Amino acid sequence: MLGETRSNLLWIMMLLFCASCAKYSAQFEDKTQQQLPNAPLIQTVYLIGDGGNAPANQSTPLFDHLTEVFSIADSKSTSIWLGDNIYPVGLAPVGHEDRALGEHRLKVEMNSLKNFKGKSYFIPGNHDWYEYGDQGVLRQEEFVESYMTNQELHASRGQDEYFVPSHTCGDIKEVIVNDQLVILLMDSQWFLNQVDKYPSDHCLLHSRKDFENQLLAFAEKHKEKSIIFAAHHPVYTYGQHGGNISFSNHFFPLRQLNKKLWIPLPFVGTASGKGRTVVTHQDVNHVMNKYYQDIIKRAMAKSAKSILVSGHEHCLQFIERDDQYFLVSGSASKKEAVKKGEGTLFSMGEHGYAKLLYYENGQTWVQFVALDKKADSYTVKFTHQLKF
């Protein structure tokens, strides 16, 4: 009897907690679907994040889908690869047993661009820096530049570099897409946790303060235009980097170490989910991450048409907060549950990507595409017009 009561109490606790758990299914502020305008586009920007986990010797359904999407996209298009391009620890040196898998994971991503007529930019994430530090990032840069410049359409792209910022510097890459749109590409992992570790004599920026000054200066320079701020780390997120973990991880936290460990530890799981966000640079409650968030938001505030696009969190999110837009697209090769938080207009813990559509009439729209399990295909899950 006592055992049964305890069991019931555990289930009641689980259900109560579950109400605040992160979910994999699509969540909306407003389920009403909007329709894209039938008007000429001046630019489409594809946003793909955390794509570096393809299985050995294989592509993935998402990259097969993207290959088709990119092959019919016109030259007024840009793809931004939002970091964590190689899991788990970046590109190993030639001769290392992990080198082949690292190259394969990059090639799967780059092969999807074989017939893409637009421009493409790869930025690093924390996993690209792990283990090998600046040497791993440098190797990845060299590999990407070499592979992309050998691709069939390189000459027509007219692009001088693909992996940015270059030479493991924190220097922000300014891309003037047209007279209405600018993209600022950053290495947020350099800012959060690498800037003090490696020589920067060959770089323009040498410190976090330099980064802050350069970002604010670029934002001021382009304040009359639409600005896409692109960095691996989000400012707002309601997935595990924001301290929100799935139902399973709340109650069975050891499954994060081993999928077979179904041992209920509800308070441990909940506490570890919240506590880790203060301890690691990678999560939103860490003091350095808060400094990063503050700089990004101040830069964004200079233009009335700003958006931060990022990966890192393995889900899709579109958040409107403080009259600014924050997009997370980090589920190109991994997926995690996500909670609906303050300002969430859309979120989903499924494989997918996002795109921003800039129209000749001045309108800007966002669209998220994700795996539809029932249809076994990638379909549009959310379409929304931005207020500017």
Interaction pattern, residues 183-202, with Fe ion; x per rule: CB under 5 A: --------------------
Point out the residue whose Cβ comes nearest to Fe ion: 312
From the list 112-120, 125-133, 134-142, 376-384, the region that binds Fe ion by CB under 5 A is 125-133
Phi-psi label, residue 84: left if phi above 0, alpha if psi -120 to 50, beta otherwise? left
Q: Is 214 in the site for Fe ion (CB under 5 A)?
A: no
Residue (44 or 240) nearer to Fe ion, CB? 240
What residue ranges in the chain does DSSP mark as E strands?
A: 27-28, 41-48, 77-81, 119-122, 173-176, 181-185, 226-230, 306-310, 316-321, 324-329, 344-348, 352-359, 364-372, 377-385
Is 125 near Fe ion (CB under 5 A)? Answer: yes
Among 82, 84, 238, 289, binds Fe ion (CB under 5 A): 84
| Minimum CB distance to Fe ion smaller for 302 or for 351 | 351
Check residue 329 for interaction with Fe ion (CB under 5 A).
no
Using DSSP's 3-state secondary structure scheme, residue 31 falls into coil
Q: Write the CB contacts of 314 (distance below 8 Å, at least 6 apart in sequence).
A: 50, 239, 330, 331, 334, 335, 336, 349
We find the least distance from the C-beta atom of residue 126 to Fe ion, in angstroms, to be: 4
Binding status of residue 335 toward Fe ion by CB under 5 A = no
Q: Smaller CB distance to Fe ion: residue 125 or 349?
A: 125
Could you say whether residue 381 binds Fe ion (CB under 5 A)? no
Residue with tokens 């800039």: 358
Q: Is 241 in the site for Fe ion (CB under 5 A)?
A: no
Q: Which two tokens stand for residue 241?
A: 């980097």
Quick one: which of 78, 126, 166, 270 contacts Fe ion (CB under 5 A)? 126
Q: Taking CB under 5 A as the rule, which mask of x and - marks residues 29-68 in contact with Fe ion?
A: ----------------------------------------
Query: What's the length of the chain?
Result: 388
- Give the interface size with Fe ion as a residue count (CB under 5 A): 4
338 DSSP 8-state letter: B
How distant, in Å, are the alpha carbons of 37, 83, 318 from that of 353? 20, 13, 12
Copy the structure tokens of residue 334.
């991994």
164 Cα distance to chain centroid: 15
* Shortest distance (Å) from residue 312 CB to Fe ion: 4
Interaction site with Fe ion (CB under 5 A):
84, 125-126, 312
